Amino acid sequence: MPEMTPLEARLTKENEALREENARQAQENIRQQQEIKILREKIDLLVRRVFGSSSEKVDTDQLLLALEGAEAKKPEASSDALAALEAEPEKTAKPNRKSKKKGGLTDELLDSLPAVEVVLVPEEVRAEPEAYRLVDEVITKQLDYQPPRYVCNKIIRQRFARIHEPHRPPVIAELPTMLERSKAGPGLLASILTAKYCDHLPLYRQQQIAKWRHGIELSRQDMARWVGLAAEWLRPIYQNIVGGVLDDEYAQVDESVIKYLEPGSGRAQHGYFWAIKRPGGDAVFHWATTRAATVLAKILPADFSGIIQCDGYGAYPAFAKRHGPPITLAACWAHARREFVEASQTGANKADALLIVRLIGHLYAIEARLREHGARAKLRAVIRAAESQPVMERIGAILKHWKKRRRHLPASQMGKAINYTLTVWNGLRVFVGNGRIEIDNNEVENAIRPTAVGKKNWLFIGDAEAGERSAIVFTVIEACRRRGIDPFEYLREVFTRMPLLAAADYPSLATDD
């Protein structure tokens, strides 16, 4: 083979360099396209979270709009997805049921309220009553409202002297210690707590309402002090509820971030309300300034063993690993479903995400039927083993197949949904083999929701100690809500009776099922 001339050698070397550069540029283009795709998914998801509907319902025929305003075409379903969809069992037709009107100003509601009668007499009858006789009455009912008012409780303690022993000092009833420490009456304390923790009115707004509408000057410092005293008085009831929740071997746990003020930090810090709920029972709130696994060690007794249902946050497996008695972690299908719902809203690989959402929907349909028939734990375990188990195995097989084939980018929303679900897969399977376990931990999330609503109004709590007081009051309020008890009436009754009771009798004030 003849040797190449210097010019040919140089050209060959340059061609090889160009080919390497082209290959590198092609790889870089592929990487950038994948990154752009992932970023567009994140932007689209963020826009939906900020401006879109909060509902997780998905319309499979809805067209997604790209950020630049162009309509996104409906993605073609892959052969695997189409095959899975074709193999789906047909949905059973639900019988048509006449919808019953719920709520509203019904006659039953109006008849249950205290009646204030207003009699209207015609002018001609008033002018000449002896010329008319009453034939009948036409009654019109309407709902009305009487605004609250402030009153002054005069606590009169009569002083007595012995008639036949005038030299002995007179006797007088002792003022309960609670009343000595506060000029706020039971009704005012109950009103402040209900407005703050049920109606989510900050103390400064309650102060303004008292001044503008009633002409009462209430100091925010006094109200804050009263809230602290009231929380301490409610602590025995709180501890009684805690004991009832942790007596069981199954609890749902969730946490929610709440900002609080720390003197000297210059900005609000992140604290957390940890909620523990016994399904079908009460919920207990615990306050902590951290989200670490060590908080669970303080909340749960050292001898606690059983099942904890939670999300995929890493603190739970870390706690279960270090905890002495055995603990089984049950995962939440609502969290897994939410991941795929968000993936279906990004526009990429929508058919795959909707397939998983549909399969999870079959699991929830089975649970809805069990609840409708009032199935107990044993029957639920049998039905789940027969009907839910095959659906779960199908979901697991599909996700593992997709992950093995790298069907979706790991950093994409769909990739994250697949990875999350497979990571907590053992926990997601727990509910199938145990009829006591719920399919998700929505009960504890519903219990913790009032704190999320409240922080939008009062933004943060005063300090770390205020967090503990708030946890006590939230627990008592949630216990009232679960039982359908008016929290104002209950708190007023507690604050009225508690000063007259011994500490050993405080458990009698706890709410009963």
Q: Could you tell me whether strands 306-309 and 327-330 are parallel, antiparallel, or unpaired per DSSP bridges?
A: parallel
Q: For residue 65, what pLDDT band results from cuts at 50, 70 and 90?
A: very low
Joined together, the tokens standing for residue 11 give 């050209």
Q: Tell me how far apart the alpha carbons of residues 390 and 393 are, in angstroms, rounded to a whole number.
A: 5
Q: What is the pLDDT confidence band of residue 176, given thresholds at 50, 70 and 90?
A: low
For residues 272 and 139, give the distance between their C-alpha atoms in angstroms, rounded to a whole number: 54
Range with top average pLDDT, 13-22, 188-197, 345-354:
188-197
| E strand spans, 219-366 | 250-261, 268-277, 283-288, 306-309, 327-330
The confidence score (pLDDT) of residue 462 equals 67
Contact 288, 274 (CB under 8 A): yes
Q: Do 190 and 495 contact (CB within 8 A), yes or no?
A: yes
- Taking the CB of residue 314, how many other CB atoms lie within 10 A of it? 9
Averaged pLDDT, 389-397 = 94
Which residue, chain included where needed, has tokens 């902590």? 288
Confidence of residue 50 (pLDDT cuts 50, 70, 90): low
Q: Residue 512: what pLDDT?
A: 61
Q: What is the largest CA-CA distance in the chain?
A: 143
Cβ atoms < 10 Å from Cβ of 116: 7
| pLDDT (average), residues 434-458 | 81
Instruction: Determine what percent of the chain is predicted with pLDDT higher than 70.
Output: 81
Nearest to 274 by CA among 250, 291, 249, 261: 291
Residue 257's DSSP bridge partners are 272
E strands along 310-400, which residues? 327-330
Q: Give the per-residue pLDDT at 186.
A: 87
Measured from the Cβ of residue 7, the count of other Cβ atoms closer than 10 Å reads 8
pLDDT tens digits for 90-116?
444 444 554 555 556 788 888 888 888
Among the listed residues 79, 144, 195, 75, the one whose alpha carbon sits nearest the alpha carbon of residue 454: 195
Cα separation of 54 and 267, whole Å?
A: 30
The single-letter code of the amino acid at 220 is R
- In 3D space, the residue among 442, 511, 449 whose CA is nearest the CA of residue 479 turns out to be 511
Cβ atoms 478, 447 nearer than 8 A: yes
Query: What is the pLDDT of the chain when averaged over all its residues?
Result: 81
pLDDT of residue 71: 36
pLDDT in the model for residue 265: 66
Give the model's confidence band at 72: pLDDT under 50 very low, under 70 low, under 90 confident, else very high.
Answer: very low
* Alpha helices per DSSP H over 215-272: 220-246
Measured between alpha carbons, how far is 425 from 331 in angstroms, rounded to an integer? Answer: 8
pLDDT reading at 344 higher than 80: yes
pLDDT for the residue 180: 59
What 3-state DSSP class applies to 103?
Answer: coil
Which of these, 392, 385, 250, lies nearest to 329 by C-alpha position? 250
Most confidently predicted of 54-68, 174-188, 303-317: 303-317
* pLDDT for position 69: 35
Tell me: pLDDT of 78 over 50.
no
Query: Can you read off the two tokens belonging to residue 317?
Result: 């497996």
Rg of the Cα atoms in the chain: 33
Residue 48 is predicted with a pLDDT of 64
In angstroms, the Cα distances linking 80 to 83, 261, 349 are: 5, 53, 12
Quote the DSSP letter at residue 388.
I
Q: What is the per-residue DSSP string for 378-393?
A: HHHHHHIIIIIHHHHH
As beta bridge partners, residue 270 has 259
The per-residue pLDDT for 258 is 81
| Burial state string for 484-506 with b = 16 or more CB within 10 A and e = fewer than 16 | ebebbebbbebbeebeeeeeeeb
Angle at 122 between CA 116 and CA 125, to 5 degrees: 120
Within 8 A by CB and 6+ apart from 42, the residues are 413
Q: Which of 56-70, 320-334, 469-483 has the lowest mean pLDDT?
A: 56-70
At 303-323, the pLDDT tens digits run 888 899 998 888 899 999 888
∠ Cα 287 292 298 (to 5°): 55
Bridge-based pairing of strands 171-172 and 250-261 is unpaired
In the prediction, which pLDDT does 25 show? 82
